[in-house]
Structure formats: structure tokens, C-alpha cells
Amino acid sequence: EKNQWINPFGPGADTASKNPFLSSSLDEAIKTGIQVPCIIGHVNDEGLLVAS
């Protein structure tokens, strides 16, 4: 619990697009049960920010 790191990066609502990927905040989407496609990926230097 003490070693939890707050990640400032995360999904945000796309309010400028005519066809948004995520049209509401993440909290709202979770509460209403909205379904969005899931994108998962990784990079070789994953976690480099934490390590430095």
C-alpha cells in the first residue's frame, strides 16, 4: 500500500471528435457499463519511468 505509484497517464474523454473513441469520462463509463474496444500493448522499456 505504501509503495503505490500514481500514474498521471490514462484514458480521457474525446470531446472534439465527431466519432469519439471514448465520449465520457472513465468513471462515468465504468458506472454506466459502456463497452469500448480494448487496446493492449507493451514496449521494451516498459516501466523505465519508474526505474529512473
**pLDDT for 1-27, tens place per residue?**
566 666 677 778 888 889 887 888 878
d(CA 9, CA 12): 9
Residue 52 above 70 pLDDT? Answer: no
Residue 51 above 60 pLDDT? Answer: no
d(CA 34, CA 26): 10
CA neighbor of 37 nearest in space, from 11, 18, 16, 17: 11
- Phi, psi dihedral angles at 28 (to 5 degrees): -65, -45
CB-based contacts of 5, cutoff 8 Å, min separation 6: 50
C-alpha cell at 29: 463509463
pTM for this prediction:
0.40
| Domain definitions of the chain by residue range | 11-52
